[in-house]
Amino acid sequence: MKNVGRLAQPAALLLGACVFAGGLMETTVRLFFPVAIQPRFVRDSGFGIRDNQSNVRTWHKSPGEYDVQISTNSDGLRGTREYPRAAPAGTRRIAILGDSFAFGYGCNDNQVVSAVLEHLLDYPLGPAAVRWEVPNFGVSGYGQAEELVLYRNKVRQYKPDTAVLFYFDNDIGNNAVADIFKLDTQGNLEATGKSFLPGVAMRQSMYAIAPLRLLFLHSQAFSLLRNRLSALVQNRLLKKNNLQNYSDATPQARALTRVLLLQMSQEIERDGTTFVIVVVPNLDLSSNFPFDRTEALALGLTVLYGREFVDTGDYYPADGHWKPSGHRKAADAIKSFLTDGSHPLVAGRDH
């Protein structure tokens, strides 16, 4: 007992010193190096890629920009609304695919493009009442390689009438780094047989430890350290693929992205589903989308160009994602397209 008593005081002093040092570090970061806290709850989908964890309730915070609630439902879709695999009678479905723009970084659940679009469309249309559902399958960090795998293994099960894919500049790098698909000598798409689960197991293990989970959720100092370590890993992956950054449209990465987009278009349209691409521009309203307007039309791609409905004021300057105003404008643009009289959804096409 005496030995325990002698050890208790140094242990308490050590613990106190660690708490003080941690508090000092946190204060320093918040005052001089503020960073966003954006915990990513992802899991192994079971088919070789990342997917959102189910039933998440958390917060994303960007200093001076936003403090928003982030939720997922029981299947990892953004928001709390549940969607059965089979749509109810008289219901039309629009599946949203994409990365953090589609998922809605910087927006509360009810401000994301999917929720806004669902609200805008969900009213009687024409002679019969049509109900609308807009499930959001966005996952932060996705490119078309993962989106194609997700469509084949998950989105297709929901039998959407329309699939709306949000394209952003870093998709080109994400497609190359994922290494799920490659082009053969004839330029055709070929699966590599590899999985892409960067840091998923480690992140899940760390989140399972209560003190570490609290740091992920609330500490800017921890977020700064995590971001630096993540950058080292990401830079190594980029270097392996001869990329300078994720928006680096090298000929090889650009060619792969073009074929992935065309493959998605073919498979989705073959399912009787309308495929729409929304090109999300950068803050300067530019984009490296790998098809120009004339070529996209010639290939039969339906493309909505974000530069035509958003402006620089719709972006968070530091974070870089859309503000809720950007999501509202995107929802309005998609609604305008879908409710045109010649669109198959209005014509009542069923599966």
pLDDT at 348: 35
The pLDDT, as a whole number, for residue 350 is 35
Domain extents for the chain?
1-32, 53-196+243-347
pLDDT band of residue 90 (cuts 50, 70, 90) is confident
Half-sphere exposure of 202 (CA within 13 A, CB side): 6
In terms of pLDDT, which residue wins out, 35 or 20? 35
- Predicted local distance difference test score (pLDDT) of residue 22: 61
- What is the DSSP-derived secondary structure letter of residue 101? H
Q: Residue 180 in contact with residue 48, Cβ under 8 Å?
A: yes
SS3 145: helix
Instruction: Write the pLDDT tens digit of every residue in 288-300.
Output: 999 999 999 999 9
Q: What local confidence, expressed as pLDDT, does residue 25 receive?
A: 74
Q: Which residue has the higher pLDDT, 129 or 150?
A: 150
**Is a pLDDT exceeding 70 seen at residue 14?**
no
Assess whether pLDDT exceeds 90 at residue 349. Answer: no
Residues 6+ apart with CB under 8 A from 56: 41, 70, 71, 72
The alpha carbon of residue 350 and the mean position of all alpha carbons in its chain are separated, in whole angstroms, by: 28
The CA distance from 41 to 58, in Å, is 9
Encoded amino acid at 272, one letter: G
The one-letter code for the residue type at 230 is S
Q: Which token pair is 104? A: 């809605």
pLDDT digit string (tens) for 47-64? Answer: 999 999 999 999 999 999
Angle, helix 171-178 to helix 251-270, in steps of 10 degrees: 90
The CA-based angle 338-340-346, given to 5 degrees, is 70
How many residues would you count in the chain?
351
Distance of CA 9 to the CA centre of its chain: 49
Nearest to 206 by CA among 198, 218, 197, 215: 215
pLDDT score for 228: 86
pLDDT one-digit tens code per residue, 136-173 = 999 999 999 999 999 999 999 999 999 999 999 999 99
pLDDT(280) > 60 = yes
Residue bearing the bigger pLDDT, 326 or 35: 326
Judge whether residue 20 has pLDDT over 80. no
Q: Residue 232: what pLDDT?
A: 87
For the chain, what is the mean pLDDT?
Answer: 89
Q: pLDDT tens-digit profile of 315-344?
A: 999 999 999 999 999 999 999 998 875 444
CB 43 within 8 Å of CB 200: yes
Three-state DSSP at 174 gives helix
Percent of the chain with pLDDT over 70: 88
- The residue among 27 and 146 whose pLDDT is bigger is 146
Distance CA 256, CA 304 (A): 21
CB neighbour list of residue 309: distance below 8 Å, 6 or more residues apart: 329, 330, 332, 333
Contact 138, 79 (CB under 8 A): no
User: Which residue, among 333, 331, 314, 334, has the nearest Cα to 323 in the 3D structure?
Assistant: 314
- For residues 255-276, give the mean pLDDT: 97
Which single residue is written with the structure tokens 């401000």? Answer: 111
User: How crowded is residue 38: how many other Cβ atoms within 10 Å of its Cβ?
Assistant: 21
On the question of pLDDT at 7 being above 90, the answer is no
Looking at residues 213-222, what average pLDDT do you find?
A: 87
Rounded to two decimals, what is the model's pTM? 0.90
Lowest mean pLDDT among 26-35, 157-166, 275-284, 342-351: 342-351
Q: Across residues 212-226, what is the average pLDDT?
A: 86
CATH-assigned architecture of domain 53-196+243-347: 3-Layer(aba) Sandwich (3.40)
